[in-house]
Structure 1
């Protein structure tokens, strides 16, 4: 059975453009669900025009002699074109959504209202929606590819511990420590990379400066 998802235009643009910072996470999320017919993408017709306008801005300066048109990665069999009807507008009014989502601009307001009225998740990477994480069920594809853990290194007199986040991407992924240090995973595991970063911090004295170490219990 297909699950309904509201989708905003920023995700469409990221799926299509391989140089986009959110491309890998959005493309993977979309393909995993769309190719297995697990999703029904609920979108207003406006999204196709917003998507093309985004593409035009992206390409008209880079390639002025080329067509800016890019086909949107939505297939009609997996899409539900959502119509702004009297019933929908009445529901938006009854739920006071114009006031609830008063900080959203343009089409973002429409996407949020569709998701709220239909009680379905909104797939986006637009940070403007973060203000409404209590009113909406937000799905951020990049967050689905994030994994958190901790590493510990023991020295003669101290135990050093730091948390880290692993983010999968098209280049093999990155590891970022809670203290801010970040590097690519390369051919190693995320845990090995995190341990290596922590070891460098211990050797340089930064780990003690950041108070990551605690005396070992005897």
Structure 2
């Protein structure tokens, strides 16, 4: 998908103008004639621009924009998934948000404002041809966090590993408490500790860890 338009959604004028200048240069390299460039100062303006269905690349600084949370941001991205390719351009993204964007979206890439000029040109080349771009810096952060999570396996106590296995097998908190002759409060405390040690925020991610760590056999899980 070669885009017809680039939307710059960044409230820092210097950054926005620099992105525009670099984008026009990249557009010439990939033979995009008369690239339309538009600016959005808030989510409402961005939605209004995207509604016309034009093939669009969106460069946005999430931290400088008026999205209330990561879910709010990804809803907008998903809404225009067939007509837009996004590049998150920011100075800092939390590892949790970065992981969420990379694993929960299909059309959102990531680059950092302190990247080299060549890296920024590469990122814009990708997004303007409809290809998702994940920078090397973002990839390294994700790999580091994955390695840290894997190392946390040894930090789980025997009880926590058993409870994690029970969670992965689909048992409810009440069922686990009954099986272990414990209170629901105790199981919830173990559950919170497991999530904290693994660096996850939901049951789905905890189950994926349990499968990778061999705590649950896939044949058991899919029964």
Please indicate, yes or no, whether the TM-score normalized by the shorter chain is above 0.5: no
TM-score if structure 1 supplies the norm length? Answer: 0.34
Higher strand share: 1
